[in-house]
Amino acid sequence: MNPPPANVEQKTIVLLGIGHTNAHLVKRWAEDPIPGCRLICISTFPAATYSGMLPGTLGHQFHDDEMRIDLAALADQAGAELILADTDGIDLTEGELHFCDRAPVHFDVLSIGVGSMPVGWQQHSDSKLLVPIKPMQTFLQRLETRLQDAAAVTTGPLRVAVVGGGVASVEIALCLQQQWQTGDRGRPIEIEIFTSSGHVADGMPGRSVRMIERLLRRREIAIHRGHRVVEVTDTALQTDDERWFDCDAVIWATGASAPPVLDRLGLQTDDRGFIATSKTLQSLSDERIFAVGDSGTVVDAPSPKAGVYAVRQCPILWHNVNAFLSGETLQRFEPQRDFLKLLNTGDGKAILQYGPFAVHARWCWWLKTWIDKRFVRQYQFAPQHPGHTLVATEDDQSREPLSCREM
């Protein structure tokens, strides 16, 4: 990194959460660091998880390390500092991030990309059955532990409820079933999807929805439509029509809600708690702060909380951080109305949908795998040396944080 001129104070760019968009900034920094600046990355976890490969990893189509990004190695590649810690709040007057167990971190520019959590999970967090899909970094381990615990005390098929009717829920259900059928589990599994909608895969065209629901019927994965899950005990769940369903695990994969950390930051938010931004991705509270991916909502052009939009914001964030520091014109993010969707069905095939076109075939899975692996490999590096600059609280690497990040 080029040092700043002797009479110019070095500026500090801080990334809070290393999601899709912030990870891209680290990669660009490794290629072309911003003169006169240093980069600090802050994460709760030492690794990031690429969400597009999570269902396939659950289905044993990929090794676990294929979907993970070693943040120490990524930061090392960029000559950045990595801090593993939970943020306690922001002091806008001083331009500092505060923590409960370490000194504050000053910033001249801050980009927040801490992801989201599934809606409603906290209401049922006391149940031993509950396995929220996020934080994704620990999802597979938490799910396996729950299934092993259930298998140790029950007989007959294991009963798994997937709450949420979106594409993620469908992929999780199909890939979990495929893992069970191809592995040496020794007992069957029964999977059911619970959605408050009238059908699964909301947002996809009718033809694609019908294709998905036919596939679920063939795979004997039941769909319970039109009712919300209102209670989860240690043995069952209840829907709002007062029906009870016995289960051994409840995978909570509902739509996006704001993670608790965003409330602690004290920035202006939308009505769901996500940071309110302009089209330049800057917080409406402070132009030094950017909010990207699920963390932010462009109030004049809101878009679904989906990874594709975080990826589309990558070049916008990189340009705008540079432009903000140099006093140049910032670019506006304009979300596209439609995009290619690829749904992993766990059986070596995928459903491809774009506009009115939909097909379920093996070549679609090959395309999805090529796209996913090509994307995540951009950020996977071997550590350059053991002495990487890493700051962490004493037990950061061993604990499971309460606040949650994606990527």
Question: What confidence score (pLDDT) does residue 18 get?
Answer: 94
β-strand 158-163 against 189-194: which pairing, if any? parallel
CATH class for domain 121-256? alpha beta
Two tokens, residue 262: 């965003």
pLDDT on residue 383: 65
Cα 238 from chain centroid (whole Å): 27
Element (H, E) at 250: strand 249-252
CA pair distance 382, 72, nearest whole angstrom: 9
Q: Is the pLDDT score of 111 beyond 90?
A: yes
Q: Give yes or no for residue 406 having a pLDDT over 90.
A: no
How far apart are the two ends of the chain, measured CA to CA in Å? Answer: 26
Statement: residue 35 has pLDDT above 60: yes
CA distance 300 to 309: 15
In eight-state DSSP terms, residue 81 is E
390: pLDDT strictly greater than 90: no
Q: Which of 208, 204, 223, 212 is nearest to 345 (CA)?
A: 212
How far, in Å, CA of 264 to CA of 262, rounded?
A: 5
- Residue pair 215/171 in contact by the 8 Å Cβ criterion: no
Q: Does 7 have pLDDT greater than 90?
A: no
pLDDT bucket at 317, cuts 50 / 70 / 90:
very high
Give residue for tokens 């992993």: 344
Residue 36 DSSP label: T
Is residue 213's pLDDT more than 90?
A: yes
pLDDT in the model for residue 5: 53
- C-alpha 380/C-alpha 369 separation (Å) is 16
Q: Which two tokens stand for residue 223?
A: 């769909």
Give the tens place of pLDDT for each residue, 54-67: 999 999 999 999 99
pLDDT-based confidence at residue 339 (cuts at 50, 70, 90): confident
Across the range 342-357, mean pLDDT stands at 93
The pLDDT score that the predictor gives to residue 189 is 94
Tens of pLDDT, residue by residue over 128-183, are 999 999 999 999 999 999 999 999 998 889 999 999 999 999 999 999 999 988 87
Comma-separated ranges of CATH 3.50.50.60 domains in the chain:
11-116+258-337+374-392, 121-256
Residue 49 phi/psi, 5° resolution? -115, 130
The predicted pLDDT at position 60 comes to 94
306 pLDDT higher than 70: yes
- DSSP H or E stretch at residue 169: helix 167-182
- Model confidence at 356, in pLDDT bands (50, 70, 90)? confident
Q: How confident is the model at residue 185 (pLDDT cuts 50, 70, 90)?
A: confident
Question: Which class would CATH give 11-116+258-337+374-392?
Answer: alpha beta
pLDDT for residue 397: 34
pLDDT of 127 > 90? The answer is: yes
369: Cβ contacts below 8 Å, ≥ 6 apart: 56, 61
